[in-house]
């Protein structure tokens, strides 16, 4: 990728306690693109999002966003930078006691001094973009899973952020809702001129909307490329994940002693019948 990067992750290491999670990861996220980070559960995908947003600090390496080293910023600088980014949390994370309208209006009321008239125009504009302007008076409990995710998307982009972080945006959605949300992510990213980092397990849907992918395993980047390049990858762990194979570098069987030996040992311990 030759485009000037918005996000630069250089040789980043991070661990929880004595357990290393990231072991020298480097990535470049170009401006205006959608980049996916894929990999098995526990490989550090969400940890990377937390490092980019400044929730965590790397133990080694650096994370830069828009030319600023995120983990070196003071509190005021970090909050200033965060106002230029947003996050779509897994399952949406709407405020259950606020209406659809108030959920989307929340960032505007919290971080700007716009008049309520301007807030209303922006909220309805973003709800129209996700097809839910007519649902603005509903409560989250009245929404389907797909509708709730679209409201969360409207809230994530209501302040026209330069960077949007998506943590498993397709989790728990039916195929129709998944397709709608995927299409909206692509359309809104292009319309806003934003940059998106998408952490996901969903191979099929993400491959239809992203520009580039990084594949993470064992705390390292083991594959990267365009969707076509990742589909054709000969790297065993990437090939197994993309094609949903049951056995490979990620084994079907949990490590155990030889089966025949276990069965024979159990039979030998059974008492003889009179």
Domains of the chain: 5-233 (3.40.50.300)
Please give the backbone phi and psi of residue 63, each rounded to the nearest 5 degrees, phi first: -125, 120
Confidence of residue 1 (pLDDT cuts 50, 70, 90): very low
State the average pLDDT over residues 187-195.
Answer: 91
| pLDDT (tens digit per residue) in 2-35 | 557 899 999 999 988 778 889 899 999 999 999 9
Asked if 28 and 45 count as a contact pair (C-beta separation under 8 A), the reply is: no
Confidence of residue 116 (pLDDT cuts 50, 70, 90): very high
State the average pLDDT over residues 120-147.
Answer: 92
Model pTM greater than 0.85?
A: no
Most distant CA pair in the chain: distance in Å?
Answer: 90
Asked if 166 and 92 count as a contact pair (C-beta separation under 8 A), the reply is: no
pLDDT of residue 264: 65
pLDDT of residue 186: 93
């Amino acid at each position: 990728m030759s485009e000037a990067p918005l996000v630069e992750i250089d040789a980043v290491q991070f661990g929880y306690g004595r357990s290393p999670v990231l072991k020298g990861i480097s990535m470049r996220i170009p401006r205006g693109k959608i980049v996916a980070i894929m990999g098995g559960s526990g490989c550090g995908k969400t940890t990377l999002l937390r490092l980019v947003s400044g929730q965590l600090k790397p133990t080694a390496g650096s994370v830069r966003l828009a030319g600023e080293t995120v983990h070196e910023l003071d509190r005021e600088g970090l909050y200033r930078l965060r106002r230029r980014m947003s996050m779509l949390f897994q399952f949406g994370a709407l405020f259950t006691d606020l209406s659809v309208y108030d959920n989307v209006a929340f960032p505007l009321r919290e971080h700007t001094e716009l008049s309520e008239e301007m807030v209303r125009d922006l909220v309805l504009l973003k709800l129209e973009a996700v097809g839910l302007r007519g649902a603005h008076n509903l409560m989250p409990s009245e929404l389907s899973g797909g509708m709730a995710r679209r409201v969360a998307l409207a809230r994530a982009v209501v302040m026209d952020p330069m960077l949007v972080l998506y943590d498993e945006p397709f989790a728990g959605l039916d195929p129709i809702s998944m397709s709608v949300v995927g299409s909206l992510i692509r359309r809104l990213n292009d319309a806003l001129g934003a940059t998106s980092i998408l952490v996901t397990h969903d191979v099929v849907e993400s491959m239809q909307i992203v520009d580039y992918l990084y594949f993470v395993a064992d705390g390292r980047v083991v594959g990267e490329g365009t969707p076509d390049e990742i589909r054709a990858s000969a790297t065993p762990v990437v090939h197994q994940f993309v094609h949903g194979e049951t056995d490979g570098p990620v084994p079907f069987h949990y490590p155990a002693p030889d089966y025949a030996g276990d069965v024979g040992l159990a039979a030998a311990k059974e008492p003889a019948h009179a």
